[in-house]
Structure 1
Amino acid sequence: MTLLDERIWSLFKRHWRQTLTYWSAFFSFGLCIAFLGPTVLDLRCQTQSTLQQITWVFFSQQFFLLVGSSLGGLVKKTLPSSLLALLCCTLIISLVFAVIPLCNHVLLLAVAMAIAGLAMGVIDTIANLQLVKLYQKDSAIFLQALHFFIGLGALVSPLVADPFLAEDCCVLGANWTANSSSSSPSDLQHLRSSLAGHGVAIGNISQYPLHTDGVVVTRVSYAFWIMALINLPVPAAVLALMYHERLLPCSDNSQRLIDGDSLSSTSPSPTGDSHGSLFGCCNPAKLRGHPASFFILHAVGGAILFITDGIVGSYAGFVYTYAVSPPLLMGHKTAGCLDSTFWASITVGRLAFIYLSYRYTSPRLLTFSLVGVITVQCLLLIFYTSSVFLFIGTCVLGLCISSVFPSMLAFTEDMLDYKGCATTVLVTSASTGEMVLQLLVGSVIHSQGSYTFLLCCTISSFIGFCLLLLLLYVHHCLRHCSTDSSQNTDMKEKPETGGS
């Protein structure tokens, strides 16, 4: 290894099985989160539902992802229970992929997506939490890699689905003719791109008449069965790890590896709190008489991720709508590339930040990232009539914002002594922001026009940066108080030592 020092490399070699398992679980997460947008029109045909009905499937997935993120924190923070939960959730995702082609009613599809969202939320919390506990002060590097695998899965999913998507109307009515009011292939492409984000902008899609009764002609089922097969190695990897850690009944009856050095974080913390205790992380004793700061750190860290993940969701969901509206008036195919460009730049950014996390501290990376986000958003506002700059700005925005979540998670857990409580709060806050800000931005765009999309994202960026400054100030105050307290303790001990 030339990019990482021997200590980091030896840490990875010590925990490579668990690390690769959590990374593969996040690939499964990304695979599941990205398929719904491209396939939603074919799923509408399969369930013979209206566009307004099918877009509620998006909400079902997002809401239960939030619920799953919260439930993931309730799983006992030990390797056996977390791996069992991870095995169940990754297996559920494969089963959902296999079952979706059998859902012939929109309600059944919404239930399937709710179950998938629940599994995704649990994976999100557990994988982040366990990597933080494994690597602690070195977790930033491995968290960046973890979130890279979301992007990888999100890139693979649409590629698998694309060959099986209907190019024309996939429900042929009984009296359908070429001169009927059915939407053209270009209209369907426009609809598919509009829904490629998260399908919350249903106000602008009711103008497209689509058949709900007739013969269904779609081959999208093959895409889901292929994705189910692609995902199967992930629960197999979790099962292999459980066998290696001797957590299965068929494993060797000798002492479990986790009782040794497999998980250094399973040992009691210096403060006496066990990581396995659900409320052990809520002891603010580490903050040396400043319990209010304990809650401030959680609240501000969660608020930053609420804002930044909300920006990611809003930008991905509405950049296409903004591009095809005045004054840009891009073509549907060109504008449809913006969402893919954004997610690709996020994936590349996370890959680059794996190395940058090794060279620079999390506060520096967070400051650089949010300053970059603000700069790009301001330039997008200035050059709002330039289609070329919209593509450039989309690339740079994705690169800058890509590292915020893993860097914030590593930084907050470092301040709170890696007790794990912050992970649950931050993951849940991020999921909430992604869902809520999309709804808010969507309603503002619907009432005030597409230009307000950039304005909302810019204002959110400034709020996020102000919250980061507040977090850094609280961190500085805590370090200063801790230093003063240590000095006072040393001064009290010195006279006693001298008199003995």
Structure 2
Amino acid sequence: MKLLDERIWLLFKGHWQKTLTYWSVFFSFGLCIAFLGPTILDLRCQTHSTLQQITWVFFSQQFFLLVGSSLGGLFKKTLLSSLSALLSCTLIISLVFAVIPLCRDVVLLSIAMALAGKAMGVIDTIANLQLVKLYQKDSATFLQALHFFIGLGALVSPLVADPFLAEDSCVLGANWTANSSSSSDLQHLRSSMAGHGAALHNLSQYPLHTEGEVITRVSYAFWIMALINLPVPAAVLTLMYHERLLSCSSNSQRLLDKDSASSTSPTGDTDQGHGGLFSCCNPSKLRGRPATFFILHALGGAILFITDGIIGSYAGFVYTYAVSPPLLMGHKTAGCLDSIFWASITVGRLAFIYLSYRYTAPRLLSFSLVGVILVQCLLMIFYTSCVFLFIGTCVLGLCISSVFPSMLAFTEDILEYKGCATTVLVTSASTGEMLLQLLVGSVIHSQGSYAFLLCCTIASFIGLCLFLLFLYVQHIHTNCQTDSSKNTNMEEKPKTGGL
């Protein structure tokens, strides 16, 4: 039995260069999103800042990622504008990697990470938009592959950084032998801060020097990552050349005109709705839409707000949960949980490339969301088992890995690629990853580490309920569309008969 039928293969062959380019820019996204956690202590030494000050770098990256996601749809009106935005964003990521070792102040580092975050957000929206536009009803399989490359980049980044991280205190003060933290304490701090700096409430107990000689070698890691990322903007530039978007020849001008015309609908609308988040609220584009059209956007965004929030919360706090009572796991052992979680998400997305072709999106989403609930419930039941925490972490990553690409493809298909679904869903997911993680962190701080599992389980139930409501509204929306088309055909028949 063939893994993919001939039609899907022919579709890929017809758009292989564009598809591979969009996949590669998501590798840049993953490379950039995963390096900060492991390297944050060395960056603290480099900037002579406290732990509380350096964690603002996480917020800077996450906030501007959200801003970039909201604005990314503004660049989709033509292929030229989309590829130009991707080229500039991937170059910015390489540039940020290169200049991070030169940032000797935490404010400068935060500005650099803000630029990287905004570039990541634009990449997130544009790559999803362009693949959906390219493949439409067949986009689910290719979106699964797209999100696999995030995981691939997120796996490569820590591997590159690890050999260059300081084993002991990377700032040597006058009395460093008496007060410097041990290597096990530093490993504990790195693992605690791996989830975007979420676990801040236990950090003040570790006294770390801010003044003295800096002995970190982490600069080499960033320069290596800058070089690793350079083929990505080169791939975008190659695609622009292949599409004749770089020269001023007559052939290039005809292609540009054709590209502009293809982005114009028969009604003269130059954008079918896939603009920035704020352009989606244009009254001229919303007039005449049924209520179910807006409800589907809201429910789809809410589901991804929840599920991406669970991913961010679990990655951010599973280490804190593992080293706290009753598990009291060792620092090195617990530090593997976050890597296992992201590795299972990557493997899951690889597996769902095939499954998304074999099964419908509603079936995959139902399986995934029910699986997430079952795993969370079992984790709460066997909360004293270290072995089951590892098993549950792996299975949870596999189950939740496909929700974003499947939900995106399903929602766009229902709305017939006329709405702002991609921009709304990408922005909602980024918002959920940032805000839900902060909420869970505050609950853990006040109620204890077990509240981490309880919060994630409650969020999982809410996500499933929202999806069931989404299916119900989708059924109503489909019936409304069917009735509307029937009425239109009945009105046209008398006119035809009178000719």
Matched ranges for 1:352-367 at <5 A? 352-367=351-366
1:111 paired residue number: 111
Mean Cα deviation higher: 69-78 or 394-403: 69-78
Give yes or no for contact 2:69–2:125 (8 Å, CA) kept in 1: yes
Corresponding residue to 1:235 among 233, 236, 244: 233
TM-aligned CA deviation for residue 481 of structure 1: 2.4
Alignment CA distance shift 1:250-1:270 (3 Å): closer
Cα distance in 2 for residues equivalent to 1:8 and 1:320: 41
Q: Secondary structure at the match of 2:75?
A: coil
Cα distance in 2 for residues equivalent to 1:217 and 1:147: 37
Stretches of structure 1 that go unaligned for 5 or more consecutive residues are none
Cα distance in 1 for residues equivalent to 2:110 and 2:242: 37
2:164 paired residue number: 164
Give yes or no for contact 1:61–1:113 (8 Å, CA) kept in 2: yes
Give yes or no for contact 2:265–2:272 (8 Å, CA) kept in 1: no
Q: Secondary structure at the match of 1:347?
A: helix
Q: Does 1:266 align with 2:262?
A: yes
Alignment CA distance shift 1:270-1:412 (3 Å): farther
TM-aligned CA deviation for residue 78 of structure 1: 1.5
TM-aligned CA deviation for residue 221 of structure 1: 0.2
2:132 paired residue number: 132
Give yes or no for contact 2:70–2:423 (8 Å, CA) kept in 1: yes
Amino acid in structure 1 at the alignment position of 2:316: G
Mean Cα deviation higher: 486-495 or 433-442: 486-495
TM-aligned CA deviation for residue 282 of structure 1: 6.5
Residue-pair matches, total: 496
Cα distance in 2 for residues equivalent to 1:374 and 1:271: 45
Q: Percent identity?
A: 84
Amino acid in structure 2 at the alignment position of 1:231: N
Alignment CA distance shift 1:149-1:251 (3 Å): farther
Amino acid in structure 2 at the alignment position of 1:14: G
Give yes or no for contact 1:275–1:419 (8 Å, CA) kept in 2: no
Q: Secondary structure at the match of 1:275?
A: coil
Alignment CA distance shift 1:377-1:271 (3 Å): farther
Give yes or no for contact 2:65–2:430 (8 Å, CA) kept in 1: yes
Amino acid in structure 2 at the alignment position of 1:194: S
Alignment CA distance shift 1:498-1:123 (3 Å): closer
Deviations 1:28-79 (A, max 9, x none): 0000000000000111111111111111110110000001111112224221
Deviations 1:369-399 (A, max 9, x none): 1011111111111111111111111011101
Mean Cα deviation higher: 8-17 or 428-437: 8-17
2:438 paired residue number: 439
TM-aligned CA deviation for residue 418 of structure 1: 1.1
TM-aligned CA deviation for residue 175 of structure 1: 2.8
Alignment CA distance shift 1:273-1:433 (3 Å): same
Q: Does 1:394 align with 2:404?
A: no
Mean Cα deviation higher: 200-209 or 307-316: 200-209
Cα distance in 2 for residues equivalent to 1:151 and 1:174: 42
Amino acid in structure 2 at the alignment position of 1:466: C
Cα distance in 1 for residues equivalent to 2:369 and 2:361: 12
Mean Cα deviation higher: 221-230 or 188-197: 188-197
TM-aligned CA deviation for residue 480 of structure 1: 1.9
Give yes or no for contact 1:275–1:420 (8 Å, CA) kept in 2: no
Give yes or no for contact 1:171–1:216 (8 Å, CA) kept in 2: yes
Cα distance in 2 for residues equivalent to 1:62 and 1:331: 29
TM-aligned CA deviation for residue 256 of structure 1: 4.7
Deviations 1:220-260 (A, max 9, x none): 00000000000000001111111111111366745554666
Q: Does 1:87 align with 2:87?
A: yes
Stretches of structure 2 that go unaligned for 5 or more consecutive residues are none
Q: Does 1:429 align with 2:428?
A: yes
2:409 paired residue number: 410
2:181 paired residue number: 183
Amino acid in structure 1 at the alignment position of 2:344: S
Matched ranges for 1:323-338 at <5 A? 323-338=322-337
Deviations 1:182-213 (A, max 9, x none): 21111111111111111121111110011111
Give yes or no for contact 2:77–2:263 (8 Å, CA) kept in 1: no
Cα distance in 2 for residues equivalent to 1:3 and 1:332: 42
TM-aligned CA deviation for residue 176 of structure 1: 2.4
Cα distance in 2 for residues equivalent to 1:308 and 1:111: 29
Cα distance in 2 for residues equivalent to 1:78 and 1:494: 37
Cα distance in 1 for residues equivalent to 2:261 and 2:152: 29
Cα distance in 1 for residues equivalent to 2:332 and 2:249: 54
Mean Cα deviation higher: 348-357 or 490-499: 490-499
Amino acid in structure 1 at the alignment position of 2:112: A
Amino acid in structure 1 at the alignment position of 2:47: T
Matched ranges for 1:446-461 at <5 A? 446-461=445-460
TM-aligned CA deviation for residue 297 of structure 1: 1.1
Give yes or no for contact 1:309–1:433 (8 Å, CA) kept in 2: yes
TM-aligned CA deviation for residue 453 of structure 1: 0.1
Give yes or no for contact 1:100–1:224 (8 Å, CA) kept in 2: yes
Cα distance in 1 for residues equivalent to 2:297 and 2:26: 24
Give yes or no for contact 1:23–1:149 (8 Å, CA) kept in 2: yes
Matched ranges for 1:36-51 at <5 A? 36-51=36-51
The normalised TM-score by structure 1 is 0.94
Cα distance in 2 for residues equivalent to 1:363 and 1:271: 32
Give yes or no for contact 1:133–1:420 (8 Å, CA) kept in 2: no
Amino acid in structure 2 at the alignment position of 1:157: S
Cα distance in 1 for residues equivalent to 2:260 and 2:242: 17
Give yes or no for contact 1:309–1:430 (8 Å, CA) kept in 2: yes
Deviations 1:134-184 (A, max 9, x none): 00001111110000000000000000000000001110002322xx12211
Q: Secondary structure at the match of 2:74?
A: coil
Cα distance in 2 for residues equivalent to 1:34 and 1:353: 22
Cα distance in 1 for residues equivalent to 2:286 and 2:420: 15
Alignment CA distance shift 1:402-1:249 (3 Å): same
